[in-house]
Amino acid sequence: MALIIYKRNDNLLVVRGAGTISPYGVISYFNQDTTVEVTLTSGEALVAGERWPMALIYIPGSQGDFQGDLRDTLQLPTSGVLTAKLVVDNGIGQHAELRGEVTIQERHF
């Protein structure tokens, strides 16, 4: 999972193509019956300004895409790397916890 958040620019956090792959290579994308939550941390501390974990909502008609709006009060560092913990549960015995880096950047126009 690779993600960039542009400070003072992005409020949308999107996970694309969440699903499972069968032993035969068939992809089954998750849908509205799946719970997806994300938590952002800096070191061991939760990033202030948001309630964690934050639920991501299924995008209707997509192939396993989920999104959530980060609050404007989110206190991001000027630059650096955060950790995103993604928890996925489709309610039928499939549960996953993934961790990845989130890079914080300033966008200059």
Predicted confidence (pLDDT) per residue in 40-88, tens digit: 999 899 999 999 999 999 999 999 999 999 888 888 887 789 999 999 9
Count: domains in the chain: 1
Q: Domain containing 72: what range?
A: 2-106
Measure Cα distances from 80 to 1, 13, 48, 98 in Å. 16, 17, 15, 20
How far is Cα 96 from Cα 73, in angstroms, rounded to an integer?
A: 29
Q: What percent of the chain has pLDDT over 70?
A: 95
**Do the strands 27-29 and 35-42 form a parallel or antiparallel pair, or are they unpaired?**
unpaired
CATH code for position 75: 2.60.40
